[in-house]
Amino acid sequence: MLPPSVRRGDVDDHLSSRIGTGAEITSPDSPSIYKVVGVATEIRAFKRSEAIDYLKVLPYANGLPHWEPAPAAWYGGSAAWPPRQPMTQDQLEAAAEKLMASERFHPQAAFVDGRLVGASAMLSFEITVPGLNQLPMGGVTATGVVATHRRRGLLRGMIQAMFDEALDRGEPVAALSASEGSIYGRFGFSPATVRTRWEIERPEATLREAEQPPGSLELVDAAMAREAWPAVHDIARKDRVGELSARAGQWAGLSDEADGTDDGPLRYLIHRTPEGDIDGIANFRLPWSPRLEDTGTLIVEALQATNNNAYRALWQLLLDFDLTKRIVAAPRPADEPLRWMLHNPRALRVTRQSDNLWVRLLEVPTALESRSYDVAGGITLTIDDDAMCPANTGTWRLDAGPDGATCARTNAQPDLTLDIQALSSLYLGGVSAALLASADRIRPHRPEAVTTLSRLFRVDPEPFNSFAF
Ligand SMILES: CC(=O)SCCNC(=O)CCNC(=O)[C@H](O)C(C)(C)COP(=O)(O)OP(=O)(O)OC[C@H]1O[C@@H](n2cnc3c(N)ncnc32)[C@H](O)[C@@H]1OP(=O)(O)O
């Protein structure tokens, strides 16, 4: 008898077919372990004593050309990845201690013949969903399988175990930032937010409103930035669909020192209300270059504000910093208000746009009932076979509106059919149902079904998450 967290139809068949032993599944003693006869493969949480093995696997696995760590590759900085030096034993011990101390860290690992050959983890977050409600979310992070053990279903096994555990913890939604676009769709993840990188030539960066908004600006050191960021972010994130609660110690590493590259140290700019409360903050750099034509770029790595005054005041200074020629910012939302504050909206040139958060609904009725909908309406939808979360499969009636929603199983004829990926992309309100229908990702059974779905799910402003994890 398999434990409930491991389903014979997906994880185990997949694994045995990959290993090619014609293996039978044994009865595992522990609910989170499964084994294949003849090949000692286990998927289970790793222990503190195994955390260093996990840390050693990760940089090795992630050091592929496609892996794009932020911010180095994001704006073409010079920081090397993977780090040039392996971590020392002391550094590994310290990192392992820190990792395992977090109650919000839920790791899984793959062991073959007792050796840790792959790992992944979920971090528990809150995500802001439409209606500005906070929903528990499991964020998949730090994933790698050593090159010699890839393509045998180890990641699939870990993802399945993490889905099952997230559901047990009451997290109806999972999400991740994808290293490659071709991996995570098969597990039901689908892009739900986008991020952009944009540039403005300083001479073109004139604002329509030249007057300084009320309040004051101050350049501060890293110690002050470490205090300001959590407070500003915790207000701002609850006001933007797609934003996440901060990771433990998210800003602990902010420093005034240069990291030894040409990027220069991070600088910090805060905005205060006339009463003195900090209501906005930006992190920026002024990298050095031996080539004159490459100097004078001010790079904004993060900017968050709790109101429009702070947002405008911060940009007003950053766009007009003496001895600079160009401003580059990333990651930024596609619907950046700054564009509409410029005399010349075309001056803000998006030089890159990519998917940001990939969402995966684990428990459809709970997720759909946890957000609100700007217009009142109802729709009956059929979700195609969801092998990894089979309770989602079937036909659901959603009756929704600004005050909330009910979502229940029904035997009625559906208005449309879609798979869990399409519904996950729609969930935060940033992807158009009409677009997905045009791509045959939604199959309407009534002519007006896609319009109804579109009106129900869209949000304004666009969902955005300001950091990956
Ligand atoms: C959320 C994050 O942490 S993003 C970071 C992800 N990590 C990396 O990119 C590091 C480098 N890559 C790796 O370590 C590994 O290749 C992983 C973790 C991406 C995949 O691990 P594996 O154990 O090989 O994956 P697994 O065998 O379970 O593959 C599941 C499916 O995904 C496919 N797949 C896995 N990796 C890739 C890839 N890089 N490109 C395309 N398809 C892939 C497999 O072919 C398989 O397909 P199937 O279900 O149709 O049979």
- List the domain range (segments joined by +) for residue 446: 364-457
High-pLDDT (> 70) share of the chain, %:
85
- 466 assigned to some structural domain: no
Instruction: Give the whole-angstrom CA distance, residue 187 versus residue 358.
Output: 11
CB count in 10 Å sphere of residue 48: 11
**Beta bridge mates, 190:** 359
CB count in 10 Å sphere of residue 423: 28
- 118 assigned to some structural domain: yes
Pair 239, 321 in one domain: yes
What confidence score (pLDDT) does residue 284 get?
96
Amino acid identity at 113? D
High-pLDDT (> 90) share of the chain, %:
73
Does residue 143 have its Cβ closer than 6 Å to ligand 1? yes
- 185 assigned to some structural domain: no
Does residue 387 have its Cβ closer than 6 Å to ligand 1? no
Contact present, 347 and 200 (Cβ < 8 Å) = yes
- 443 assigned to some structural domain: yes
Contact present, 14 and 153 (Cβ < 8 Å) = yes
Q: Does 54 participate in catalysis according to the annotation?
A: no
Dist. CA 155 → ligand 1 center (Å): 6
Pair 339, 444 in one domain: no
Pair 391, 446 in one domain: yes
Pair 316, 437 in one domain: no
Entry pTM: 0.89
CATH number at residue 104: 3.40.630.30
Pair 242, 341 in one domain: yes
Q: pLDDT (tens digit, 9 = 90+) per residue, 101-127?
A: 888 999 999 999 999 999 999 999 999
Please, what is the end-to-end C-alpha distance for the chain in angstroms?
36
Sign of CA dihedral 209, 212, 213, 218: positive
Pair 23, 163 in one domain: yes
What confidence score (pLDDT) does residue 95 get?
83
Pair 139, 243 in one domain: no
Choose the catalytic residue: 75, 184, 187, 464: 184
Pair 219, 338 in one domain: yes
pLDDT of residue 382 exceeding 70, the answer is yes
> Which ligand 1 atom sits nearest the alpha carbon of residue 146?
14
Pair 47, 140 in one domain: yes
Query: Which of 143, 154, 359, when mutated, tests ligand 1's pocket best, judged by the most ligand atoms within 8 Å of its CB?
Result: 143
- 182 assigned to some structural domain: no
Q: What is the DSSP string of 305-340?
A: ESSHHHHHHHHHHHTT-TT--EEEEEEE-SS-HHHH
pLDDT bracket for residue 23 (50, 70, 90): very low
What confidence score (pLDDT) does residue 59 get?
60
The SS3 of residue 226 is helix
From 353, 384, 401, the end of a domain falls on 353
Pair 370, 313 in one domain: no
Pair 103, 216 in one domain: no
CATH number at residue 393: 3.30.1050.10
From 353, 388, 417, the end of a domain falls on 353
pLDDT bracket for residue 179 (50, 70, 90): confident
- 88 assigned to some structural domain: yes
Pair 369, 345 in one domain: no
- 177 assigned to some structural domain: no
| CA-to-CA dists, residue 154 to 2, 99, 157, 321, angstroms | 18, 22, 5, 50
Considering its fold, how many domains does the chain have in total?
3
- 469 assigned to some structural domain: no
Mean pLDDT of 399-421: 97
